[in-house]
Amino acid sequence: MPINFFKGHPSADILPRKELADAYSKILLETDFLGYENDPKNRGPLQYGTDSGNYEVRKTISDWNNREFNTDLSCPQNMNLTSGASYGAANILTSATSVEITQSAFIVTPTYFLINSSFVDAGFGGRIVPIRETQNEEFDIDIKTLENHLAQADPVPENEEINIIKDAAGRPDRKLYRHVIYMVPTFSNPGGISYTTKTRMAVLELARKYDMLIITDDVYELLDYTEASERIPRMVYLDIKTRPKAKTFGNTVSNATFSKILAPGIRFGWQETATSKLAEQLAITGANKSGGTPGQLSSFVVKSLIDNGTLDTIIKKFIEIYKERAKRLLEVIPKYLPSTTIVSGGDGGYFFWLSIPGEIDLEKVLDKMKERGVIIPAGHNFEVCSSEPPFWKNSVRLSISSLSPEKIEEGIRIWGDELRTLYPHLYQ
């Protein structure tokens, strides 16, 4: 079996099969199906769901969010249920952007490599602007470049909301944003870093000034290895706390999923917004309104796992396993790789981002490693698709989610062997 550092999913041996089997069995065999027949807010687990998803499920998730983030800002009215973050991103772009009105699409780079397709499908191919992650600077992303692009259009008056359009299908009026930005602000994929509250507020202030929607993939925060007493607040909670009254739709969507903290195959997640108006807008896109919320049965299962505390136990187990793997990777990097190697990541989530300075052909090294059964994805896989020239020529992403500590060390040792053979000067 190859040692594959590209896989961004849990190793099969740690997936909670018994817990999920018990939960599905309980829901299917013990639910009072008839009790849901006349409930306008909730539907049975095998029926089409409501547009936003069952109220009782959204209430359970919002209460759980409030506990995890030590806040009272999460509420079911600001939430709609999805079939995971990938579906969620496409749903947001379909609902809240338009190639006629949305002037700019920004993606923070390095980026989750498959998000490019969602932006291209929404009509932004060739128009996506990369915004670099930065380190050891005032902000965690290149705020200056972002603002320079936004400032090409006039600011929106502080007490005005623009681009509210009548819906041709007779649904409520909806908001289209002049700009949109995508980022993974906590334990970022692939950069491995978490943006400070200062960075988050700077982006939020620009979003309000220039009418930009911020899409945050909030999928890794609970996989925190630091045991910090408080989590960095999600951008949607910052938006709720500081939103001007005139901004009735808000400027943020927290796009979340249970794929990383339960199992990818569950295909269930949620979106959280600063206002109920934007949540409703996201809940009534065409496919969603036709079929009801996706993942209806899965939503019951997740609710059950939250209610009985099983989900918290599963997450705790994941943290213990991933923390051990991350620790091993941090131990073996200085053991086998050049001392000049730059490393980010290790506090949580799945990913590390490594860069090796100097004039080397990293692609050549990685190709040689494939011959020895080690797969490490090069930085070009994580570029924004319109990036010219590429930003990440000498970088790689390492995922620890599907490899044992022993396989992690073996893979890094082989990488070091190839580097030492091809570029011995790196070790002098």
Shared domain check, 159 and 298: yes
Give backbone dihedrals phi and psi of 198, rounded to 5 degrees, phi first. Answer: -60, -45
Shared domain check, 367 and 298: no
Shared domain check, 7 and 102: no
Distance CA 284, CA 102 (A): 20
What is the number of structural domains in the chain? 2
Q: Do the domain assignments include residue 228?
A: yes
Region 4-17 average pLDDT: 97
Give DSSP secondary structure letters for 102-141: --EEEEEES--TTHHHHHIIIIITT-EEEEEB-SSSSSSB
Shared domain check, 137 and 211: yes
Q: Do the domain assignments include residue 17?
A: no
Reported as a single tens digit per residue, the pLDDT across 372-382 is 999 999 999 99
Shared domain check, 252 and 291: yes
Q: Do the domain assignments include residue 22?
A: no
Shared domain check, 278 and 151: yes
> Strand runs (DSSP E) across 18-162, as ranges?
79-82, 104-109, 128-132
- Domain hosting 130: range is 32-308
Helix (H) or strand (E) holding 300: helix 296-307
Task: Kindly tell me if the per-residue pLDDT of 1 is higher than 90.
Answer: no
Shared domain check, 208 and 91: yes
Q: Mapping DSSP to helix (H, G, I), strand (E, B) and coil, where does residue 293 land?
A: coil
Task: Show which of 282, 308, 334 is a domain's final residue.
Answer: 308
Shared domain check, 38 and 7: no
Reported as a single tens digit per residue, the pLDDT across 108-163 is 999 998 999 999 999 999 899 999 999 889 999 999 999 999 999 899 988 889 99
Shared domain check, 332 and 289: no
Distance CA 119, CA 138 (A): 29
Shared domain check, 215 and 71: yes
The two tokens of residue 54 are 């069952």
Region 406-414 average pLDDT: 98
Q: Do the domain assignments include residue 78?
A: yes
Shared domain check, 194 and 101: yes
**What are residue 395's DSSP bridge partners?**
355
Task: Give the pLDDT confidence score for residue 278 in this predicted structure.
Answer: 98
The two tokens of residue 147 are 């603002």
> Strand runs (DSSP E) across 174-232, as ranges?
174-175, 179-183, 212-217
Q: Which residue has the higher pLDDT, 250 or 389?
A: 250
* Closest C-alpha among 110, 53, 63, 54 to residue 87: 53
pTM across the whole model: 0.97
Task: Show which of 308, 336, 370 is a domain's final residue.
Answer: 308
Task: Give the pLDDT confidence score for residue 386 in this predicted structure.
Answer: 73
Q: Do the domain assignments include residue 200?
A: yes
Reported as a single tens digit per residue, the pLDDT across 75-96 is 999 999 999 999 999 999 999 9
Indicate which CATH number applies to the domain containing 184.
Answer: 3.40.640.10
Shared domain check, 98 and 216: yes
Pairing mode, strands 342-344 and 351-355: antiparallel
Region 40-65 average pLDDT: 97
Average pLDDT score over the chain: 96
Task: Show which of 308, 341, 368 is a domain's final residue.
Answer: 308
